[in-house]
Amino acid sequence: MNAQASPLQNKPRLEHQWPEPLNAKQLDQKYPGILDLTVFLSAGANIIMQLANPAVGHGVAESRVTSGSIMHRPLKRTRTTFTYLAVAMMGSTEEKLAYRRAVNGSHKHVHSTKDSAVEYNAFDPDLQMWVAACLYWGFVDTYQKVHRPLTRKEQEDFYRMARPLGTTLQVRQDMWPEDLDAFDEYWQQGIQKLHIDDTVHEFLMIIADLKFLTPVSQFLFGRFNRFVTTGFLPPEVREKMRLDWDEERQRKFDKTVRFFGKLMKVIPRPIRQLAYTTPLRDFRRRLAKGQPLV
């Protein structure tokens, strides 16, 4: 069923039926490496992109849902995020609807109060559209930096496939930009609207430096994570984050991500895709047993 005009709201309803998705093996055949573990290299940058939208940033930084906070439950937060990505890209219609209900149950607690510096609501489809746009942009940007440039046709095909990154939740079909040109216009306008105040900047630097993890993890991976996070950020956002960058760092970054791209080619596909396939299997197990999904 396609979205139809609501007699009450005079606007398309939320999507309730999606095309049959590709599975992990089919996605890898079409876009070799698109679901690789290299996603962890750009994860911090993608979070920053999302939260650089003031309403999204304050919504996450001020969230009272500590059970899903990266600061309090980093492993659960990571599992929830990758479950959403996996369900949106590879889940059936029934699975998407089930996860929508589960996420909505958490989102109902995420809204601004009279003390909030910025007004926000996790059900706002415009905010969800920005988050979904960042997720799509992250897939393509990471792939092209780590593996190879995509042709325009490949980008157009993947763009159509990526629509459920938004429409699995409150983004209506008519909100998703019609084609790549429309998306590029939306993206550039969105970049110009980003603003990172001191409160959100402090929160994002904790993520960039992995300060939400154990001291040992911070010591081992903190500097590297800040480096790759900075490298994956668009220059405009890098500047807003007040992160240093130059040509020498760029050359080192390019060599680093290409190394990981070559490394992935010698790792069997099931292992390369564990970041997505493991949470998807866990989600399906939980769904079958009637257990909480988030």
pLDDT single digits (tens) 30-39: 999 999 999 9
Reported confidence tier of residue 67, pLDDT bands at 50, 70, 90: low
Q: Which residues have C-beta within 8 Å of that of residue 131, sequence separation ≥ 6?
A: 50, 56, 166
Q: Is the pLDDT of residue 264 over 90?
A: yes
pTM higher than 0.85: yes
Residue 11 in any domain: the answer is no
Residue 150 lies in a domain: yes
pLDDT in tens, 79-138: 999 999 999 999 999 999 999 999 999 899 889 988 888 999 999 999 999 999 999 999
Domain assignment present for residue 137? The answer is: yes
In a domain, 162, yes or no: yes
- Quick check: 6 pLDDT over 80? no
Domain containing 51: what range? 33-283
pLDDT at 109: 86
Residues 6+ apart with CB under 8 A from 283: 83, 86, 87, 91, 95, 99, 293
Q: How many domains would you assign to the chain?
A: 1
Greatest alpha-carbon pair distance for the chain in Å reads 58
pLDDT at 73: 81
> Does some domain include residue 2?
no
User: Does 8 reside within a domain?
Assistant: no
- Express each pLDDT in 183-238 by its tens digit: 999 999 999 999 999 999 999 999 999 999 999 999 999 999 999 999 999 999 99
Asked if residue 275 belongs to a domain, the reply is: yes
Residue 9 lies in a domain: no
- Mean pLDDT over residues 145-159, rounded? 96
